[in-house]
Amino acid sequence: MLGNFTYCNPTKLYFGKDALQGLNEELPKYGKNVMLSYGGGSIKKNGIYERIIEILKFNGKTVVEDPGVMPNPTVAKLYEGCRTVKENGIDLILAVGGGSVCDYAKAVSASAYCTEDPWEKYYLNGGKLENKTVPVGCVLTMVGTGSEMNTTAVLTNTETNWKIGHVFEEEIFPKFSILNPEFTYTLPRHQMVAGFFDVMSHILEQYFCGEDDNTSDYIMEGLLKSLIHSVAIAVKEPYNYEARSNIMWTATWALNKLVEKGKSTDWQTHMIGQAIGAYTNATHGMTLSAVTIPYLRYILPYGLAKFKRYAINVWNVTPNGKSDKEISNEGLCAMETWMKHLGLVMNLTDLGVTEDMLKRIADATLIMEGGYKILTRDEVIKILNESM
Ligand code: NZQ
Ligand code: ZN
């Protein structure tokens, strides 16, 4: 049965080759002072920076530069961003980059005028947003996280090795997001495929849970098929606009809160991945790819009917004459082959994880309760061991 829910997603999207022109429509809605947040410099190399500065100047904005948002943004960077916002009376945060920059901008939006320590309030204690916020707009340059159309912001505390995501209230949705698939063309291949796998993982976290007949599961199977189809083209032809644009759109729908509606969700792979990320600072999508197959194999017996459905509907496994378990395993084998073909990291050793780190990673893994199996700490360690 579809559970009760409310659904709201106010983010306005500008999609396509001319999407950046959307800035000319959006910028006049906000005050003069714009904080331009971006990462380590890719936007300067590929020309996106100059194009945005030109539009900001054309609209009479005062630009306050906020570079250096690192992949897996840190709490220290959050504090720096909050200071910049307050010192300059920022009216709009324009985040230009991938999920890290978008997440960071949303966290700053919620934290700049917070009277308590935002890490403690939101991330450690799950506190509610009570202060004024700063509007955020995003120009996306990396596909994967869905951050452009959701309220989540993931931060890492490098002093305590905690990487935690907080789902903020509706005020934190980006006011607008600019999605030009061509802006993702300059991504290095390993980042591109890590993002592709992040999209798949988001869908699976919301698919492998519940056993009801749920419209969301049909939507997710469609998204997965589109993703698999387009990824096969994109890895051969990275400049194929049709494939890259389909993947970008799939990524947004995979995590803009729609498909989770009315059903439980898992997110255990992400919790393990975040703990790995906190200890290794590895690329997010690769922390997921390294543990996904061992995790799914482990929970398979607890969600057999869904794994069978996944194998048949998504991986085109022919069921004739096979047991449910055989069909399900064949589906996971097809997925594993696909992952290897993409060049994803398939084990933790390649991410720099050593045996002595496993218990600490398990301790830093939040245990989720919405999937087919609520894991114990020992089971997390077992899955980590199998991922080495
Ligand atoms: O910093 P620059 O120089 O821009 O380089 C970035 C970065 O090194 C580079 N890059 C981005 N666009 C590029 C480009 N390089 C060349 N050309 C381009 N067009 O790619 C690197 C990775 O960027 P990053 O933003 O870190 O990647 P991603 O989009 O995967 O974001 C990862 C962060 O998002 C969080 C992750 O935990 C991680 O902290 N997540 C956020 C979620 C959400 N808000 O809902 C959900 C996700 O599950 C995830 O946890
Ligand atoms: Zn993810």
Task: Encode 165-216 in three state secondary structure.
Answer: EEECCHHHCCCEEEECHHHHCCCCHHHHHHHHHHHHHHHHHHHCCCCCCCHH
Predicted local distance difference test score (pLDDT) of residue 246? 98
Q: In whole angstroms, how far apart are CA 210 and each of 14, 214, 370? A: 34, 9, 8
Residue 78 one-letter amino acid: L
Helix residue ranges, H only, the chain: 22-26, 42-45, 48-58, 75-88, 99-111, 118, 189-207, 215-236, 241-254, 268-280, 284-299, 304-315, 324-342, 358-363, 377-386
Closest-CA residue to 17 (of 185, 236, 227): 185
User: Which residues have any ligand 1 atom within 6 Å of their CB?
Assistant: 39-43, 46, 71-72, 97-101, 103, 141-142, 144-147, 150, 152, 154, 165, 183-184, 186-187, 191, 195, 198, 255, 270, 284
List, in sequence order, every residue forming a beta bridge with 13; answer none if it has no partner.
177
52 is written with which tokens?
């945005």
Mention every residue, 6+ apart, whose C-beta is less than 8 A from residue 383: 272, 291, 294, 295, 298, 375
- Distance in angstroms (rounded) separating the CA atoms of residues 42 and 184: 11
pLDDT of residue 144: 98
Going from the Cα of 150 to the center of ligand 2, the distance in angstroms, rounded, reads 12
- The atom number, within ligand 1, closest to the CA of 201 reads 48
Distance CA 243, CA 253 (A): 16
| pLDDT for 2 | 80
Taking residue 41's Cβ as centre, other Cβ atoms within 10 Å add up to 11
SS3 365: coil
Quote the Cα angle for 252-253-255, to 5°.
75
DSSP 261: T
In this predicted structure, what is the pLDDT of residue 87? Answer: 98
Check residue 168 and give its pLDDT: 98
Q: How far is the CA of 142 from the centre of ligand 1 (A)?
A: 6
Looking at this protein, which amino acid is placed at residue 53? I
Is residue 41 within 8 Å of residue 67, measured between CB atoms?
yes
Task: For ligand 1, pick from 109, 205, 284, 287 the residue to mutate: most ligand atoms within 8 Å of CB.
Answer: 284
Instruction: Identify which ligand lies nearest to the alpha carbon of 289.
Output: 2
Instruction: Count the neighbouring beta carbons within 10 Å of the beta carbon of residue 24.
Output: 11
Q: What pLDDT, on a 0 to 100 scale, did the predictor assign at position 212?
A: 76
Q: What is the pLDDT along the chain (388 residues), one digit of tens a residue?
A: 788 999 999 999 999 999 999 999 999 999 999 999 999 999 999 999 999 999 999 999 999 999 999 999 999 999 999 999 999 999 999 999 999 999 999 999 999 999 999 999 999 999 999 999 999 999 999 999 999 999 999 999 999 999 999 999 999 999 999 999 999 999 999 999 999 999 999 999 999 998 778 899 999 999 999 999 999 999 999 999 999 999 999 999 999 999 999 889 999 999 999 999 999 999 999 999 999 999 999 999 999 999 999 999 999 999 999 999 999 999 999 999 999 999 999 999 999 999 999 999 999 999 999 999 999 999 999 999 999 9
CA dist 209 and 373 (Å) reads: 9
Tell me, what amino acid is at 227? L
Q: Whose CA is nearest to atom 38 of ligand 1?
A: 72
Query: How many CB atoms neighbour CB 238 within 10 A?
Result: 15
pLDDT of residue 252: 98
Identify residue 29 by its one-letter amino acid code: K
Predicted local confidence at residue 172, as pLDDT = 98
- The minimum-distance atom of ligand 1 relative to the CA of 106 is 44
Report the top-level CATH class of 12-183: alpha beta
State how beta strands 136-140 and 176-179 pair.
parallel
97 Cα to the center of ligand 1, angstroms = 7
Q: Are 308 and 327 in contact (CB under 8 A)?
A: yes
- 298 close to 379: Cβ distance less than 8 angstroms: yes
What is the maximum alpha-carbon separation in the chain?
69
Tokens representing 89 are 């009376």
Burial 320-355 (b: 16+ CB within 10 A, else e): eeeeeeebbbbbbebbbebbeebebbbebeebebee
Q: Which CATH number fits domain 189-386: 1.10.10.10, 3.40.50.300, 3.40.50.2020, 1.20.1090.10?
A: 1.20.1090.10
Q: What residue spans define the domains of the chain?
A: 12-183, 189-386
Q: What is the pLDDT of residue 126?
A: 97
Which are the contacts of 213, defined by CB distance < 8 A and separation ≥ 6? none
